[in-house]
Amino acid sequence: MAKDFYELKHEETNEKILRASKKLLLQHGFSDVNMSMVAEASLLSRQRLYAYFENLDEIIYRIQINDMRNFITFFNERLKDEEFHGKDRLVHCLNEMFLYEDKHTDDFVFTAYFDVYYHKKTVRPRLENEYKKLYDGSLYFQLVAEAIEEGKRTGEFKDSVDSAGTVYMFGNLTQMLLERIAFFKSSKKEKHNKDELERLKNDYCEAMLGFLEK
């Protein structure tokens, strides 16, 4: 069923608020932004802004949820039909994540800020539950675990490697690396060196494979 004019207008305004808010939050930091600043940047009155979002926490969560949903969609679509196995699949997973970060650097900078904010704030359960459920829709952990198990069966990886624990560890380490790269690239104090970043990525892949390989 096609959306009517009012539904489309509501979505358009909603997206405008989120874009303006994300720009403010990245520029000033989460603790120095308020709803008045968001209203001004969105070209809306405070009253109209509150018709869309209850508070700044809801805006922050909505930005993070949207960014994560976009990443999960990209990752699932790019990997679900690929014919990579074992070590090759693991390297492919990492390369796809690096590729996504290169095109969405601001998303990873925002996520780094969000991770700090998330552990300090208590928000409505509905938002937190929606955020947590997104992980269930990602193929990342499943694909990496399958790659490790395939590598163990083919003799590429050590039999003693615990797939579940390794996936969790590498997931966290990879996320931190992507956030660090994003911060480095977005820094205005120094122009990032592409060769240095490529070397960092290659070193990380080699370290990961070194941990797994016999």
* CATH assignment at residue 15: 1.10.10.60
Residues 124 and 205 in one domain: yes
For residue range 111-144, list pLDDT tens digits in order. 999 988 877 777 777 877 888 788 766 777 888 8
Question: Tens-digit pLDDT profile for the chain (214 aa)?
Answer: 456 767 778 889 999 999 999 999 999 999 999 999 999 999 999 999 999 999 999 999 999 999 998 988 888 787 776 678 889 988 888 898 999 999 999 999 999 999 888 777 777 778 778 887 887 667 778 888 888 999 999 999 999 999 989 988 988 899 899 998 998 888 755 566 778 888 889 999 999 999 999 8
Q: How far is CA 28 from the centre of its chain?
A: 20
| Number of independent structural domains in the chain | 2
Residues 66 and 49 in one domain: no
Q: Write down which residue in 10, 26, 53 finishes a domain.
A: 53
pLDDT for residue 42 = 96
Q: Write down which residue in 53, 70, 88 finishes a domain.
A: 53
Q: Considering just the CA atoms, what is the radius of gyration of the chain in Å?
A: 20
Q: Write down which residue in 12, 30, 53 finishes a domain.
A: 53
212 closest CA partner among 124, 151, 142? 151
Residues 34 and 108 in one domain: no
Look up the CATH number of the domain holding residue 65: 1.10.357.10
Report the alpha-carbon angle 38-111-73, nearest 5.
100
Residues 20 and 77 in one domain: no
Rounded CA-CA distance 198/94 in Å is 13
Rounded CA-CA distance 161/164 in Å is 9
Residues 6 and 70 in one domain: no
Q: What is the pTM of this model?
A: 0.86
For residue range 141-167, list pLDDT tens digits in order. 888 888 899 999 999 999 999 998 998
The parent domain of residue 26 ranges over 1-53
Q: In one letter, which amino acid is 147?
A: A
